[in-house]
């Protein structure tokens, strides 16, 4: 009898504990493991808890997300997918095609996401018309950063065309200043290339070449001109550029070793962390040309069983696109909110410029996905293009030969 009573009491205690833990549950896989990113995830975790949720953190460091994707695939294959996973661009669609993503349209419609997100960015979050992911931020890729003192000392304004950039670079080089800080890594080469391409091809040409993969545009004289400009860019970097990390290139601009850098707005975080003031110590401007190249971080929601997990998914999606998290996260990250109605009073002047340009580009159809940062196309095509870009940048290959190689590389990757 005593054993029966104890067993019953134990069962009631376990049931009570389970009831006490009932509520929204979320296991979140991400690779934001350092600095402002970790701080921002902590804010989301706190918001989730404050709304009655229980958060299980699954950070996977290393490889820019490669290690996280390995861990994710193992979990999905074992039938135990996390609630939410940091994913972006075409990778979202690839996981949807495997039949493992959840439909969060009810949350998106209740929260009016279509009214507050630019259409181009919202499209990445949808899978065959249904919402399957929630955007966190917008990084602008086509930024031109400059050391304010160097430009002033040499009588140079921020260039608004590539001809102006070349003239400024030639003047700086003659004065013994490194014109362009750059790190010789494939993704950095690709970043400079796509920024140059946007300026020379224009928004329509960029769309045709790097989103539609149109053979005619890839083989065009304009594409030859893009590689011609890349050859000039190669002449403006110092001889120690191979293998240099992007943040070390940013430090060159910060410390007065170089005048310019072409890099996404994560570079701004380096300037700000060093106590530098935009407009005073460093300058920011959209790179020459019309348009806005974006890189969007987001969380995809995976198909999970159980009301607690599904409720957690809905709550998490709501909070991610909520105004508070969008503000706090992006103040830490250096990017701007994905939703266009977040108050910007606490953001710096570069972020204000980025937000205004995103809004205007969204209206005129020049808001474009970055190919170099995994937003415009799938991995095989992106890798094929970058291989050509890097081969050209690190050799004496002619622009016409590079274009021919580019056409063949894209065709063979399809």
Express each pLDDT in 307-322 by its tens digit.
999 999 999 999 999 9
pLDDT tens figures, 288-310: 998 999 999 999 999 999 999 99
- The two most distant CA atoms of the chain are separated, in Å, by 96
> What mean pLDDT do residues 55-62 have?
90
* Domains defined for the chain, CATH in brackets: 24-139+295-353 (3.40.190.10), 141-294+373-413 (3.40.190.10)
Work out the pLDDT band at 345, boundaries 50, 70, 90: very high
What does the mean pLDDT of the chain come to?
92
DSSP state of 241: -
Q: Quick one: pLDDT at residue 64? A: 64
Contact 82, 29 (CB under 8 A): yes
Measured CA to CA, the distance from residue 267 to residue 304 in angstroms comes to 37
Measured CA to CA, the distance from residue 334 to residue 137 in angstroms comes to 10
pLDDT at 32 over 90: no
pLDDT at 356 over 70: yes
Measured CA to CA, the distance from residue 103 to residue 234 in angstroms comes to 46
pLDDT tens figures, 204-253: 999 999 999 999 999 999 999 999 999 999 999 999 999 999 999 999 99
pLDDT at 360 over 50: yes
For the chain, helix, strand, coil in percent to 5 are: 55, 15, 30
**Cα distance between the two ends of the chain:** 72
What's the angle, vertex CA 253, arms to CA 247 and CA 335, rounded to 5? 55
Work out the pLDDT band at 21, boundaries 50, 70, 90: low
pLDDT tens figures, 325-334: 999 889 888 8
pLDDT at 83 over 70: yes
> What mean pLDDT do residues 56-68 have?
83
Work out the pLDDT band at 76, boundaries 50, 70, 90: very high
Torsional sign, CA 158, 164, 166, 168: negative
Work out the pLDDT band at 63, boundaries 50, 70, 90: low
Min mean pLDDT across 65-69, 204-208, 262-266, 343-347 is at 65-69
- In this prediction the pTM is 0.88
Which of 158, 191, 210, 368 lies closest to 266, judged by CA? 191
């Amino acid at each position: 009898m005593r054993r029966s009573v104890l067993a019953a009491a134990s069962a009631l205690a376990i049931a009570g504990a389970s009831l006490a833990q009932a509520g929204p549950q979320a296991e979140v896989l991400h690779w934001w493991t350092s600095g402002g990113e970790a701080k921002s995830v902590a804010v989301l975790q706190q918001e989730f808890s404050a709304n009655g949720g229980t958060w299980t953190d699954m950070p996977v460091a290393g490889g820019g997300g490669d290690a996280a994707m390995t861990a994710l695939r193992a979990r999905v294959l074992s039938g135990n997918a996390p609630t939410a996973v940091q994913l972006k661009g075409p990778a979202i669609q690839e996981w949807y095609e495997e039949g493992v993503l959840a439909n969060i349209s009810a949350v998106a419609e209740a929260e009016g996401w279509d009214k507050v997100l630019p259409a181009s960015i919202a499209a990445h979050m949808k899978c065959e018309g249904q919402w399957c992911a929630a955007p966190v931020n917008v990084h602008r890729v086509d930024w031109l950063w400059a050391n304010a003192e160097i430009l002033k000392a040499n009588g140079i304004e921020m260039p608004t065309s590539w001809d102006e950039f070349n003239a400024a670079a030639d003047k700086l080089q003659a004065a013994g200043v490194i014109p362009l800080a750059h790190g010789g890594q494939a993704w950095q080469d690709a970043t400079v290339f796509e920024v140059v391409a946007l300026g020379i091809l224009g928004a329509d040409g960029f769309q045709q070449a790097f989103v539609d993969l149109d053979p005619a545009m890839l083989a065009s004289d304009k594409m030859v001109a893009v590689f011609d400009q890349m050859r000039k860019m190669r002449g403006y970097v110092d001889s120690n550029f191979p293998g240099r990390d992007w943040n070390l290139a940013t430090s060159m601009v910060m410390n007065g070793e170089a005048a310019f850098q072409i890099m996404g707005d994560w570079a701004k975080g380096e300037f700000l962390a060093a106590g530098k003031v935009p407009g005073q110590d460093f300058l920011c401007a959209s790179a020459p040309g019309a348009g806005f190249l974006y890189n969007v971080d987001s969380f995809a929601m995976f198909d999970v069983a159980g009301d607690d997990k599904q409720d957690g998914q809905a709550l998490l999606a709501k909070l991610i696109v909520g105004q508070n998290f969008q503000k706090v996260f992006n103040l830490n990250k250096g990017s701007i909110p994905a939703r266009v109605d977040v108050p910007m009073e606490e953001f710096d002047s570069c972020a204000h410029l980025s937000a205004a340009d995103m809004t205007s580009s969204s209206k005129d159809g020049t808001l474009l996905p970055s190919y170099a940062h995994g937003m415009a196309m799938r991995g095989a095509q992106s890798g094929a293009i970058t291989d050509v870009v890097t081969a050209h940048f690190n050799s004496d290959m002619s622009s016409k030969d590079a274009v021919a190689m580019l056409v063949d590389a894209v065709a063979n990757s399809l």
